[in-house]
A = this chain, B = another copy of it.
Amino acid sequence: MKLLIVEDEKELSKSIVTYLKGENYLCEVAVDFKTALEKTESFDYDCVLLDITLPDGNGLNVLKELKADNKTGGVIIISAKNLIDDRIAGLNLGADDYLAKPFHLSELSARIAAVIRRRRFDGNKVLELNELTFDTLAKTVSVNGKGVDLTRKEYDLFLYLVTNKNRVVSKNAIAEHLSGDEADVFDNFDFIYAHMKNLKKKMVLAGCEDYIKSIYGMGYKFDI
C-alpha cells in the first residue's frame, strides 16, 4: 500500500510517515501542490493525504484535479482550519474523508484503512474466498478459520495478488508495489521469487489450495 502525504510542515509529515510506516504503508511526501500533482500524475497511490492549506495554491482545486483523473485512490483532507465550510466543500468535491488538525495518528491510520477498504473492497473488512479469509482490518490471513502467520512482505504480496485476482500481474508491477522507493528494480526479481516461494509454502502448509499460478514470461495470477 502506497500513500502520498501532501504537507509542508516537515515535523508533522515526518511523524506521520514514521507512524504509517509502522502500520506497513509505503509513504512518499510532497511539500507543495505542484510536486503532489506530478507525483499523482505518474503513480496511482492507494490514498493521498492532502493538506489543503499550502502556500502554493488552492488545495481544493488540487483535490478537484485529483478526483477528475479518477485515477488516484482515496483522498483524505487534513486541514488546520476545521471550518465547516471547508469540510463541506471538501466532501462535495469528492474527498473520501476529512480530518482536522491536530489529530491522533491512530485516528488518521484508521481513516486511511477505511478509505482504502471502501475503494478496494467495497467497504468490506473481510474478504472470503473459498477456504481463504482475508481480514484487511486485522491484517490477518486464515485458512478454514485457522490463522496463517505471514510476514509483512508476504502479506503485501498476497494482498496485491488477491486484489488483482484472475488477472496476470507482471513482476514489474509486483516489484513496484513491494519496494518502498521508486527504485529501479526491473532487472532483478530474485526477491519476488523468494517471497513467492515462502508465501506459497506457508499457504499450502496451512491447507490452502495453491491458487497462485506462475505464468511463464508474464508474471503471476491469483486464480480463483
Residues of B within 8 A of A104 (CB): 42-43, 176, 182
User: Closest approach, in angstroms, between the C-beta of A170 and any C-beta of chain B?
Assistant: 5
Tell me, in angstroms, the Cα distance from A186 to B16 when the chains sit together.
Answer: 10
- CB nearest to A187 among chain B residues: B18
Those 7 A-B pairs whose CB atoms lie nearest each other, nearest first: A138-B167, A42-B104, A139-B168, A42-B107, A22-B172, A152-B217, A19-B186
Residues of B within 8 A of A171 (CB): 22
A107 touches B43 (CB 8 A): yes
Kindly state whether residue A223 has any CB partner on chain B within 8 Å.
Answer: yes
- CB nearest to A16 among chain B residues: B186
Residues of B within 8 A of A19 (CB): 172, 186
Known: A137-B167, A168-B139. A223 touches B186 (CB 8 A): no
Produce 1/0 per residue, A159-198, CB < 8 A to B. 0000000111011110010000010101100000000000
Kindly state whether residue A147 has any CB partner on chain B within 8 Å.
Answer: yes
Residues of B within 8 A of A170 (CB): 22-24
Residues of B within 8 A of A139 (CB): 167-168, 215, 218
Kindly state whether residue A151 has any CB partner on chain B within 8 Å.
Answer: yes
- A11-31 contacts to B, CB under 8 A, are 15, 18-19, 22-24
Tell me, in angstroms, the Cα distance from A23 to B139 when the chains sit together.
Answer: 30
Interface size on A, residues (CB 8 A): 46
| Residues of chain A whose beta carbon lies under 8 Å from any beta carbon of chain B | 15, 18-19, 22-24, 38, 41-44, 100, 102-107, 109, 135, 137-140, 147, 149, 151-152, 166-168, 170-173, 176, 182, 184, 186-187, 215-218, 221, 223
Tell me, in angstroms, the Cα distance from A187 to B44 when the chains sit together.
Answer: 28
Known: A172-B22, A217-B24. A166 touches B138 (CB 8 A): yes
- CB nearest to A216 among chain B residues: B151
Tell me, in angstroms, the Cα distance from A138 to B213 when the chains sit together.
Answer: 14
Tell me, in angstroms, the Cα distance from A38 to B99 when the chains sit together.
Answer: 11
State which of B23, B42, B147, B151 has its C-beta within 8 Å of the C-beta of A103.
B42
A217 touches B168 (CB 8 A): no
Known: A43-B106, A167-B139. A147 touches B217 (CB 8 A): no
